[in-house]
């Protein structure tokens, strides 16, 4: 019991939740990745930071996101199991946040990086996420995406087709979702926090309504058999993504109704949300945090 209390206190008092990646139990600090085989040649790597996908084949390795710099040794260890970092042919960044891109400095020495043009723009300049007191200084030239796109790009490799589509101004202004077509797998990036309230970076172009619309658009492109990789959280299904979308839509409607009634931020936070959403606060954000993000986004 003492150990449990200590763990809870540590989690709740973390001074920099975003930078440490300790928002949920599976993102507590760790020196290793958990590797899950999704098919014969596609693997999910989960550790401290965003979820990483790895595709391997005769034409080399493709990574979707690269995690924190502190996880470089662990990533190198995982890549060694599949031929080594020298075999990486491409790295795809789903968006600019450091828990998905700090590994660029490692992988970028060996392979070009693909991302939406706004990811390149943000990694070239100093960025700040005030919500988490996080500052990101400009990245080194080799860690910057060199292959960029506006709306979408298609990568054909290892007998697979990866369709990388930009979904604008949801989580940030540079987010992409990666559809691995033949395998029927989709990597959502941070357009999906599975089972808990998502962080929406309003300071770099995110918006709660756009995020809901973007998730709805993805749902229309997948089926009940699709394997859904969230940016954070456990491996998921279309049904899980539908629940996530429903939560965003309905909690936003609840908050908007209270705003229309003239309630202040503090009054809305005191009122809270419907009890059915209570479990969604067991991740990165409290209910008060999520309410504030919704209100700021709507305004």
User: Any idea what the CATH number is for the domain that residue 20 is in?
Assistant: 3.60.15.10
Q: For residue 184, give its domain range.
A: 16-237
This prediction's pTM: 0.89
171 contacts 157 by C-beta, under 8 angstroms: no
In a domain, residue 110? The reply is: yes
In a domain, residue 114? The reply is: yes
In a domain, residue 3? The reply is: no
CA distances from 136 to 42, 50, 122, 154, 234 (A): 31, 16, 9, 29, 27
Per-residue confidence of the chain (299 residues) as pLDDT tens digits? 333 333 333 333 333 333 333 333 444 456 899 999 999 999 999 999 999 999 999 999 999 999 999 999 999 999 999 999 999 999 999 999 999 999 999 999 999 999 999 999 999 999 999 988 999 999 999 999 999 999 999 999 999 999 999 999 999 999 999 999 999 999 999 999 999 999 999 999 999 999 999 999 999 999 999 999 999 999 999 999 999 999 999 999 999 999 999 999 999 999 999 999 999 999 889 999 999 999 999 98
- What's the confidence (pLDDT) of residue 194? 98
In a domain, residue 289? The reply is: no
In a domain, residue 176? The reply is: yes
Residue with tokens 């919704």: 294
Instruction: For residue range 140-152, list pLDDT tens digits in order.
Output: 999 999 999 999 9
- What's the confidence (pLDDT) of residue 299? 86
Q: Which distant-in-sequence residues (6+ apart) come within 8 Å of 187 by Cβ? A: 51, 53, 64, 65, 94, 177, 178, 180, 229
In a domain, residue 193? The reply is: yes
What is the count of structural domains for the chain? 1
In a domain, residue 279? The reply is: no
In a domain, residue 258? The reply is: no
Instruction: For residue range 186-207, list pLDDT tens digits in order.
Output: 999 999 999 999 999 999 999 9
């Amino acid at each position: 019991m003492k150990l449990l209390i200590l763990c809870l206190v540590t989690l709740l008092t973390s001074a920099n939740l975003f930078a440490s990646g300790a928002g949920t139990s599976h993102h507590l600090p760790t020196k290793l990745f958990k590797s899950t085989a999704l098919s014969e040649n596609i693997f999910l790597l989960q550790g401290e930071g965003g979820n990483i996908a790895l595709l391997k084949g005769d034409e080399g390795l493709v990574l979707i996101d690269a995690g924190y710099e502190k996880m470089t040794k662990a990533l190198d260890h995982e890549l060694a199991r599949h031929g080594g970092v020298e075999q990486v042919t491409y790295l795809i960044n789903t968006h600019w946040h450091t828990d998905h891109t700090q590994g660029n400095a490692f992988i970028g020495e060996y392979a070009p990086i693909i991302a939406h043009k706004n990811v390149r723009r943000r990694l070239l300049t100093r960025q700040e996420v005030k919500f988490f007191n996080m500052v990101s200084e400009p990245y080194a030239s080799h860690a910057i995406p060199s292959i960029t796109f506006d709306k979408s790009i298609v990568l054909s490799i290892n007998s697979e087709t990866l369709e990388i589509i930009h979904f604008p101004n949801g989580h940030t202004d540079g987010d992409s979702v990666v559809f691995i077509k033949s395998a029927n797998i989709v990597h959502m990036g941070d357009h999906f926090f599975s089972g808990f309230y998502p962080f929406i970076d309003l300071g770099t172009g995110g918006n709660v309504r756009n995020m809901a619309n973007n998730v709805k658009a993805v749902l229309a492109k997948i089926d009940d058999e699709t394997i859904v990789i969230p940016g954070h959280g456990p491996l998921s299904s279309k049904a899980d993504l539908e629940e996530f979308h429903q939560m965003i839509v309905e909690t936003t409607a609840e908050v908007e109704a209270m705003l229309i009634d003239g309630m202040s931020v503090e009054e809305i936070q005191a009122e809270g949300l419907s009890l059915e959403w209570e479990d969604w606060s067991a991740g990165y954000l409290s209910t008060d945090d999520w309410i504030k993000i919704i209100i700021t986004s709507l305004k």
